[in-house]
Every structure is written in structure tokens, then in C-alpha cells.
A and B are shown apart, each in its own frame.
Chain A
Amino acid sequence: MQFLADFLPAGLAVHAPALIVVIPLIMAAVAALMPNGRLGWLVTLITAAIVALFALNLLGQVVESGVISYHLGGWAPPIGIEYRVDMLNIPLLLVVGIVGLLCVIYALPSVGDEIAENKQALFYSAFLVCFAGLLGVTITGDAFNVFVFLEISSIATYTIIAMGAGKDRRALTASYNYLVLGTIGATFFVIGVGFLYMATGTLNMADMAAILEETGHNRVTQAAFAFIVVGLGLKAAMFPLHVWLPNAYAFAPNFVTAFLASTATKVAFYALIRFLFSVFHPDVSFVSMSFTWLFAVVGTIAMVVASLQAVFQTDARRLLAYSSVAQVGYMMLGLGMGTAAGLSAGILHLMNHALMKGALFMALGAFALNFGVRRIKDLAGMSKTMPASAMAFTIAGLSLVGVPLTVGFTSKWYLVTAALERGWWWAVAALMLSSLLALAYVARLLSAIWMDAPPSHHGELSQRRLAPWMVLVPMSVLALANIYFFFHADPLVWLARAAADAVMGGN
């Protein structure tokens, strides 16, 4: 870890918490000025690489010297804005940074195919704004700042989802739906933050927590809690606030879906954890009640109902989108257990899920790139026509089911163990039921890919067409990571455990 902490010059490393957000924001403006899509992509790629390096550096710094508190502009909190890096947001920074980088590599061929040439530079610019917003939500220690970055990322997200209209006009309604619901969510959230400000007179989260502990809770803070949970729940696609998600994922450009599916809902989920554990306290009665009676229940329902919905989809991306709602349910259930084991299992699944869904959506994007397919039945024979992508898809798909040799198994193992520790047998049953449903919907995809014959044109079977290497490489990296982290689960388990300990009083 010393190496990670030291590889950047000290002058840069000190400002890493700010730079990791500021650089993508500035680069967004630079990308907008680029004359063509290729240069816009290059700017984005460099930015994503820098962000990934900063994320690794921050990991090193936090491990070596504990929580980082960065005072923006030199103004000490609670007056100034504080950026705060601890073990809880490190996993998120790593996921957003590294998976984001892989997605950006993948973007060039995919975006080139789907977005009109004259809009590509602007598209990358909007993407970078979204990227910066997600990183900002993750790193900031200021409640109002969370709102600001949430809106920055959301507004940019509406734009880049709508850019899918070049291929399918339904992207516009999908984006508009998301805009309406997302704005409602953001409004709820800011009302909640407003109430908290009213009750405590501060916007710094750590400060809020200290004051709340001193003054205790009243109706205002309870209302704030409700507003914040609903607002962030909407962003995190917490069942039943997920209705925006399936269409948004189904009609957005493939690159956007791959990126959002592995990062966006997870960042909102992180923000939820941050508020529940760091601002409110899990020992407060209405918070601890919400664990069992809200998050665990809602998560369990999501695991089963959304998986069931996924089984009956005809569009491959919508199917995976419903599966994402179900997977958020797993994380909510882990959170709802209210124990360190449960929370860390949820966070472990958060990271693992990014690996699975990233690879799955990239592979679907590769299929779409070469053959323009969207529906499940059009995936027929992809094992013959695009063997490498089909293989990556299969690995990640099995991981989603939780078959051993993949990280999905590790997730299930820790979730079930945590449920047993809590004595929640019904949760174990629900986890298994959901796994079986996952088996059912993944089997639909895989049987089309492996068992059905490729379509024929005038009696001739479709030819084998390999995906471009810029698609193959990031996709394979993610797919192989699904296997690698089964055999070396240690780093991810350790990160998840450290994250849970960071907010549950392990330190």
C-alpha cells in the first residue's frame, strides 16, 4: 500500500481529493471544444486514467495514514466545504474510477457507431460532467454538496441517455421519464437536507452527526430522514422507486448503459449508507427500525419481484436492467441486516455487481455493434458469430447467478452467512429463490447464444465477426476479473469489511 500512497508527487497527492473531481469538470469543457469525436474521446480517456490513478493513490493514502479530510479553498469545516475520504468511499472511488476507465476504452467504437459524428465531442463532454458528479457525491463530506453533485451527475445523465435517440427515438421518453422522477428525487433529497440544516444549523455531515447526537432527534429530523431516504432511494433504483431504470438502461447508448449500470445506482446507494450511518446513527430507534422494516423488506421484495419481471422480458437490455433492480435489492438486504457482516456483504456485492454488469452490458453492446441486435431471440447463434464476446457474456452471466468459480458465488456466500448470523432464515430462502430466478433469466440469454443456430441470409449463415479490440479488451478484463476475484476474494472482501468497519465503529 505504501507504493500506492507514494507514486504521485507529494504536491499532487495532497490535493488528490479535490483534483479527482475538478479535473473531470475542467476536462469536460476541454472535450466540448474538441473538433471531432476521436479527440473528445482521447481527452476523456486521459481524464479517466488520471481519475483511476488518483483513486488508487487515495486508497494508498487512507490505508497508510487514515481518514483524509481536505478543506476546499483552505476553509476549515464546518464553515468551508470538506472533502472526506475514508474506507467507506474508497471502494466506490475505485469502482467508478477503474470500471469507468474500462468503459471509456470501450466507448470509442461503440459511441462511433451510435452517436452522430458532430455530436460526439459534446457527448463526451456531458459524460465527463456526469463522471465528475458521481465522484463528487462520493468524496464530499458536505450534505448540500452531495445535492449539488447529485444534480450535476443527474442532469448530465439525462442528456447522455437521450443521446440514444440516434438509434431509437424511445430514448427521448426514457430520458424524460428519468428526468421527471430524478428531479422529484433530488427535490426530496434537498428538502431533507434543508430540514437537517434547520435542526442543526450546519451542512457538514460530521458536524451534523455530532450535533444530532447531542440534541437528539425530533419530528423535523425524522421528516428529514424520510425525505432523504426516498430521494436517494429513487436515485439508487430502490424498489419500488425503480420505474425509471429499465427504459433508461434499455434505450441509452450501449456505452452509457454499461457505465451507469456499474456505477450510478451504486453511488446513490453509497450516499444512502453515508447518511444512515454517518449522519444519522444506526442506534437511533427510527433508523434501526428502518433497517429491518424498510430496507430488508424492500430489498427482499426487489430480489424476488424484479427477478421475476426480468424472466419475462423480450429485450435483452431491459432484462438485465430488471436484474440490476434485483441486485440493488441484494445490497439493500445486506444494509438492512444492520450488522457489520451484512453491510460488508452488501458492499462486496456492490463491487462484484459492477464487474458482472459491466461485462454483460459491454458484451450486449458488442453484439449490437456488429449485428444491431437488441431482442433476446436475435442473440441466436452469437457463440458462433462472436465467440469471444459470447464467452465473456457467459462468464459474467454465470457470475450473476452465483455459480462457483465466479465472484457471484462469493457475494452469495457472504450475504447468506450474514443472514444466518442475523438468524434471518427467510432472507436465505429469498436469496436462493432470487438466485434461481436469475438462473432462469440468464439461461434464456445463454440458451439463445449457445443453443440456437445463427440467423441465415439467403441460405447462408451469418459470418463470424470479431468485435474490435477496444471492445474485447475491457470486456475480457471485466469478465476475467469475475474469475480472478473468486480465487483472490481477499482484496475485495477486505475492502468491503474495512468499509463496514469505517461506519460501524470498527475504528
Chain B
Amino acid sequence: MWTPELSLALALAIPAIGGVFVALLGSRPNLREAATLIAAVLLAFNVAYLVEVAQGHPTLNLATLAPGLHLVFKLEPLGAIFAAVASGLWIVNSLYSIGYMRGNNEKNQTRFYVCFCIAIAGAMGVALSGNLLTMFLFYEVLTLSTYPLVTHKGDAKAKRGGAIYLSILLGTSIGLLLPAVIATHFLAGSTDFVAGGLLAINEITPAISSVLLVLFAFGIGKAALMPVHPWLPNAMVAPTPVSALLHAVAVVKAGVFAMLKVGTYIFGPGLIAITPAADALAWIAGISIVLASVVAMTKDDLKARLAFSTVSQLSYVTLGVMLGSPLAMLGGALQIVMHAWGKITLFMSAGAIYTATGKTEISQMDGLGRYMPWLFIAYTVGALSIIGLPPLGGSWPKFFLLQGAWDSGHGWLMVALIASSILNVAYLLPLSARGFFSPPAEAKLKKQPPMLVILPPVITAAGVIVLFFLIGPLRDYLAPVFLSSNLAAEAAL
């Protein structure tokens, strides 16, 4: 009975049905939260099964829109890993949401949890999509369903942030990504994700592939490549659980994941390596990495600083794709996983500090580590992982990316990667230092933070350490995607 195809459908259906239950149970908060948690746990089990069967590439046709236009799910390792990260962190984040939303007496909580479920369904759709059309569809679902979450507070600032959020994400996706998708369909006759690259087996000129690659790179606005990044800092007006799961994991990772999929299955490493625009885009990614880190240093608001840090870290993945070497792409894929765990830890810490003290500025957080030692330890572990120190998970993607940059003859970009790590130290660690070593100013805890906002970041921080040691299986799981696609491309040429 339990077939991979059924499981694919369930990955979409579980969060969707969960959302229905959340809506129905709106007047009874405890049952409502139980519905979210049950959906999250079921989804995680379902996705764990998918991870296991991903090598068999189960396929599910959702709908046929018109001749030649299909909505298809097709599982492959990259998508399975992305789905696993998103669904696994959804559990942790749901626990955290309960603590945060109740601790801060937020309004409209039912709408919040419903939209969250839909957003997760959208992320699953992106992860499992079997062609560009399906991916585009769920990409837009993700954009629209997160808009009410970003503007949750409903004040003028939230509306303004939401307007920028929506206009950039919809604008880039409709203005740039959609024509790229249609042009791909036109050139290749389909938009299927093909090992080795759909376009690689069609003869297209370097000019056209350059134009397409640029359209994809900036059209996937969720990847926040500069200069289409401003939506991300502006999305920080959202409640912290949204920033944590969506703007460190599901939404932004859907962006870079889409980039990775386009790079792997639409272009293929071989075609990217010979596309002239890829070099320029690699440089833009490199500049994004450094520039966003510099901007992050100027921000005193913790969430704003983390947002720019995310902009910077996302470009690592874009960089990995544009380098066109299998090793760099593997680094990009690992970055999706590792950065997610690290950054969600940092965001949840920021939210926990806010819940306990009402403070958002780093300069006002002196001495808080003495009151919340576990939280600050978790924060420090997450920060060190983002910086890329072993034995933390975040070190692996940097390692592979450096190697990939060197292999593909972009030695200069190694400078950007190293500079960024140093900048990371400069903007992430001061908070740890202030928290532990500065004398507490007037800062006292307004109230004891609920257990549910402290525990989740500690869990994810522990996860960061575990992931460092899981690199062997992860690499073995993901590497064939890039290696085989490389081989397939060579075979096709």
C-alpha cells in the first residue's frame, strides 16, 4: 500500500490537510497547535521515507493542464534532502512558534498557523517538482502564502515591508523567471528536470544560454542575489518564527534550491561551464557574499543583521551553481542543509531574547548570557557553524566551495569566501561576547522565557554538531547527482 507515489502525494497533502484542521480548530488553541504538531511529525516521517526511496526516482503526475503541460512530482536526492530539512525543522519551529506566539500575545494566531501550513506545502511542492512549470507554480504559492505572515502585525511598517516583499518576489518571478520557463519550454519542448541538463542535450547558442541563465539567476528572487535582495531584510517585520523557518529555511532555501535544480537539471554543469554569463554571475554572487556581510556589520538590529547574513550565505549556493564544477555544486547543496540548521538557531535565539526582554538591538543585549546561558551557548554554536569552523556542520560547504572555486579556475573567488568568513566572525560573535562578558546594563529579564523558546534553538545547535559527523553519508547521497549528471552530459556531447 505504502508506495513512493502515495508518499509523494502525501508530502503535499499532509500540510494542506493540517492547514484545514488548524482552521477548523481555530477557537481551541491547544487542539489547534496539536494539529500543527501532528502534521509536522507525520510529514517528517513521510519525508524520511521519501529520502530512502529517492534513488528510484518515483514520479507522480498531478494534473495535465493542456497537451504538453503537466504538473509532475519527481523525486531525486536534492529535493529529498531539501524536503527533509524543511519538514524536520518544521517540527522544531512549531514548538518554538507556540512558545513565541503565546509568549508575545500575538493576534490572529489561527491565520498564522494556517498560512504556515500552506507555506510548508508550497515548499514541499518546490522540493518534489519534476519540471519547471510545477516548480514555478509552487514557488508562487510559497510567495503568496507567506505574505500574510510577513504582514502579520498589520501596522504601517509591516504593510510597507509586505509591499516590498510581494512586489520584488512576484515582480522578479513573473517578469524574469516566467519568460525563462516559457523560453525553456519553447527551446527544449518540455520543462522536465533531466539528469545532465535539459538544455545541454539541445543545441543552443552561448548567447541564448547566457540570457536564460541571467533570467533564472535574477528571476528566482527568493535566492536574494544582489540587487534583488531587499525583500529579505524587509521581511524581517514578520514574527520571529516566520523569519526563522521561512526566511532562513523554507522560502530562501526554496530559492537557492530552485537555482541548484536549474543548474543541475536544466543547464547541467557542462553547459554552465561553457556559458559566458556564468562567470559574470559567479562574480556577482561573490560580490553579494562580501557586500551583504559588510552591510550586516552596520546593523544594530539583530534580525536585520541576520537577514543580511542570510543574503550573504545564500549567494554561496548561487556561487556554487555558477562555478559549474560538480564539487562546487555539491558545496552549494550542502550549504542548503548546513546553513538552514545554523541560521534557524540564530533566529530562534533572537526571538527568544525578544520574548524574554523585549530587546531587538544588539547594543542593548549586554550581559544577557548570564540569565540565559543555554540560549547563548546555542547562539554561539550556530554562529560558529555559519562562520565555518569545525567540528560544526557549516564548515563542509565552505570546504567544498573553496575546492570547487580552485578547480574551476576562479582562485580569486576564494578570497571572497575567506573574507566573508572573517566578516562573519566580526558581525556574529560580538553578541556572544556582549552576552557573556559585558556587565549587565539595565537589562534584566522582563519575564522568564517559556521553555518552548529556549529548547528549540538548543536542539538545532546540537543538530549542527551532529551534522558535521554525518557528512560521509550526506556526501555519498548527494554526490552521484552531480557526478552522474556530469557523466551524462559528457556522454551526450
> Which of A413, A416, A420, A436 is close to B69, meaning CB atoms less than 8 Å apart?
A413
- Whether A297 sits at the interface, judged by CB under 8 Å, is no
- Whether B67 sits at the interface, judged by CB under 8 Å, is yes
Is there contact, CB below 8 Å, between A420 and B171?
Answer: no
Q: How many B residues are at the interface, by size bracket? A: 20 to 34
> With the chains together, A436 CA to B131 CA distance in Å?
24
Is there contact, CB below 8 Å, between A439 and B66?
Answer: no
Is there contact, CB below 8 Å, between A436 and B186?
Answer: no
Binds A, one of B76-84, B173-181, B360-368, B385-393: B173-181
Binds A, one of B2-10, B20-28, B162-170: B162-170
Given known A410-B66, A451-B159, A490-B66, contact A417–B185 (CB-CB < 8 A)? yes
Q: Interface digits, B396-440 against A, CB 8 Å rule (1 contact, 0 not)?
A: 000000000000000000000000000000000000000000000
Is there contact, CB below 8 Å, between A443 and B69?
Answer: no
In the bound complex, residues from chain B placing their C-beta under 8 Å from that of A421 are 186
Q: Interface digits, A428-452 against B, CB 8 Å rule (1 contact, 0 not)?
A: 1101110110011001000100010
Binds B, one of A260-268, A280-288, A399-407: A399-407
Q: How far is the CB of A377 from chain B (nearest CB, A)?
A: 14
Is there contact, CB below 8 Å, between B167 and A404?
Answer: no
Is there contact, CB below 8 Å, between B186 and A417?
Answer: yes
Is there contact, CB below 8 Å, between A433 and B185?
Answer: no
Is there contact, CB below 8 Å, between A493 and B179?
Answer: no
> With the chains together, A474 CA to B185 CA distance in Å?
36
Is there contact, CB below 8 Å, between A413 and B182?
Answer: yes
In the bound complex, residues from chain A placing their C-beta under 8 Å from that of B182 are 412-413, 416-417, 420, 428
In the bound complex, residues from chain A placing their C-beta under 8 Å from that of B69 are 413, 489
> Which of B140, B151, B166, B174 is close to A435, meaning CB atoms less than 8 Å apart?
B174
- Whether A486 sits at the interface, judged by CB under 8 Å, is yes
> Which of A405, A420, A431, A488 is close to B183, meaning CB atoms less than 8 Å apart?
A420
Closest to A489 in B: B66
In the bound complex, residues from chain A placing their C-beta under 8 Å from that of B166 are 443
> With the chains together, A401 CA to B143 CA distance in Å?
14
Q: How far is the CB of B288 from chain A (nearest CB, A)?
A: 23
> With the chains together, A412 CA to B185 CA distance in Å?
13
> Which of A433, A439, A486, A487 is close to B170, meaning CB atoms less than 8 Å apart?
A439
Closest to B176 in A: A432
Q: Interface digits, B176-217 against A, CB 8 Å rule (1 contact, 0 not)?
A: 101100110110000000000000000000000000000000
Within 8 A of A (CB), among B56-104: 63-67, 69
> Which of A432, A439, A489 is close to B179, meaning CB atoms less than 8 Å apart?
A432
> With the chains together, A436 CA to B171 CA distance in Å?
6
Is there contact, CB below 8 Å, between A405 and B171?
Answer: no
In the bound complex, residues from chain A placing their C-beta under 8 Å from that of B175 are 432-433, 435-436
> Which of B136, B151, B174, B183 is close to A451, meaning CB atoms less than 8 Å apart?
B151
In the bound complex, residues from chain A placing their C-beta under 8 Å from that of B174 are 401-403, 432, 435-436, 439
Is there contact, CB below 8 Å, between A432 and B178?
Answer: yes
In the bound complex, residues from chain A placing their C-beta under 8 Å from that of B63 are 487
Q: How far is the CB of A470 from chain B (nearest CB, A)?
A: 28
In the bound complex, residues from chain B placing their C-beta under 8 Å from that of A416 are 178-179, 182-183
In the bound complex, residues from chain A placing their C-beta under 8 Å from that of B137 are 404-405
- Whether B54 sits at the interface, judged by CB under 8 Å, is no
Is there contact, CB below 8 Å, between B66 and A420?
Answer: no
Q: How many residues of A contact B (CB 8 A)?
A: 31
> Which of B140, B163, B171, B185 is close to A403, meaning CB atoms less than 8 Å apart?
B140
Q: How far is the CB of B99 from chain A (nearest CB, A)?
A: 28
> With the chains together, A429 CA to B159 CA distance in Å?
29
In the bound complex, residues from chain A placing their C-beta under 8 Å from that of B38 are none
Q: How far is the CB of B214 from chain A (nearest CB, A)?
A: 13
In the bound complex, residues from chain B placing their C-beta under 8 Å from that of A401 are 170, 174
Identify which of B163, B166, B182 gathers the most chain A CB atoms within 10 Å of its CB: B182
Is there contact, CB below 8 Å, between A487 and B183?
Answer: no
Within 8 A of A (CB), among B136-166: 136-137, 140-141, 144, 151, 154, 159, 162-163, 166
Closest to A405 in B: B137
Closest to A492 in B: B66
> With the chains together, A209 CA to B268 CA distance in Å?
53
Q: Interface digits, B95-136 against A, CB 8 Å rule (1 contact, 0 not)?
A: 000000000000000000000000000000000000000001
Within 8 A of B (CB), among A308-323: none
Q: How far is the CB of B95 from chain A (nearest CB, A)?
A: 30
> With the chains together, A119 CA to B134 CA distance in Å?
52
Q: How far is the CB of A340 from chain B (nearest CB, A)?
A: 15
Is there contact, CB below 8 Å, between A490 and B170?
Answer: no
Within 8 A of B (CB), among A366-424: 398, 401-405, 410, 412-413, 416-417, 420-421
In the bound complex, residues from chain A placing their C-beta under 8 Å from that of B186 are 417, 420-421
Is there contact, CB below 8 Å, between A404 and B140?
Answer: yes
Identify which of A403, A486, A488, A490 gathers the most chain B CB atoms within 10 Å of its CB: A403
> With the chains together, A486 CA to B140 CA distance in Å?
15
> With the chains together, A488 CA to B65 CA distance in Å?
5
Q: How far is the CB of B224 from chain A (nearest CB, A)?
A: 19
Is there contact, CB below 8 Å, between B170 and A493?
Answer: no
> With the chains together, A440 CA to B166 CA distance in Å?
10
> With the chains together, A291 CA to B72 CA distance in Å?
38
Closest to B71 in A: A487
Closest to B148 in A: A450
In the bound complex, residues from chain B placing their C-beta under 8 Å from that of A403 are 140, 144, 170, 174
With A416-B183, A436-B171 already in contact, 5 other A-B pairs whose C-beta atoms are closer than 8 Å: A404-B136, A404-B137, A416-B182, A487-B63, A487-B65
Closest 8 CB pairs of A and B: A489-B66, A404-B137, A420-B186, A416-B182, A432-B175, A493-B66, A489-B65, A436-B175
Residues of B within 8 A of A (CB): 63-67, 69, 136-137, 140-141, 144, 151, 154, 159, 162-163, 166-167, 170-171, 174-176, 178-179, 182-183, 185-186
30 contacts between A and B (CB under 8 A): A401-B170, A401-B174, A403-B144, A404-B137, A404-B140, A410-B66, A413-B69, A413-B182, A421-B186, A428-B179, A428-B182, A431-B179, A432-B178, A432-B179, A435-B174, A439-B170, A439-B174, A447-B163, A451-B154, A451-B159, A451-B162, A487-B65, A488-B65, A489-B65, A489-B66, A489-B69, A490-B64, A490-B67, A493-B66, A493-B67
